[in-house]
Chains A and B, each alone.
Chain A
């Protein structure tokens, strides 16, 4: 899997959009960008993934740059329950390719 780089921690005010960056400059053409989050002492939760087009679901939006070397996860209206560690992972999407976690970004939503 290609390596990703994320800030160690970020704060965001409640109700504002949280923008979490991720750099993946060595991503291969067949690798997807996945985002997961882990709320304290729970299992990670899948958020969203994409290849090269921007993606949106009920949880978040994923913006991938045209060169695919970086991406941003956007939580449009952050709530206190969005406080968690957010992991950006790149991996191919075939078979049951393993998921390797880094240290992620600890996002704290401030009331």
Chain B
């Protein structure tokens, strides 16, 4: 366990389904992130939340909708996904300098398959 917990670990959903990915951290970090990792591609940053406010949205389609209700929880709501959205979705948290190393702590990810 890294201190960042993601659920579920695996998810299979149809293109018309609505599902949510959950991320939880109890490290006292003040920022949380969603990354996407498709097969044989580098990790892609999707969303950044700092102090519960979204500070970055990297041109992610609207079928992905993040939510950060408090500093410990982050959600990614999914609806009307496409098969090409199948990937490993990773959550991370960090504590900004100077109190932290600047390093990110990642969860183990949710392996999403869209059928």
In the complex, chain B residues whose CB is within 8 Å of the CB of A102: 42
| Residue B59 is within 8 A (CB to CB) of chain A in the complex | no
Q: How many residues of A contact B (CB 8 A)?
A: 23
Contact status A95-B97, CB under 8 Å = yes
In the complex, chain A residues whose CB is within 8 Å of the CB of B45: 98-100
Interface residue SS majority, chain A = loop
Distance in angstroms from B110 CB to nearest chain A CB is 10
Interface residue SS majority, chain B = strand
In the complex, chain B residues whose CB is within 8 Å of the CB of A54: none
Q: How many residues of B contact A (CB 8 A)?
A: 29
Contact status A45-B30, CB under 8 Å = no
In the complex, chain B residues whose CB is within 8 Å of the CB of A96: 30-31, 48, 50, 94, 96
A to B CB contacts below 8 Å, 27 in the list? A32-B102, A34-B102, A41-B109, A42-B108, A42-B109, A43-B2, A43-B106, A43-B107, A44-B90, A44-B104, A44-B106, A45-B2, A46-B104, A49-B101, A91-B102, A93-B102, A95-B96, A95-B97, A96-B30, A96-B31, A96-B96, A97-B102, A98-B33, A98-B45, A98-B56, A99-B94, A99-B104
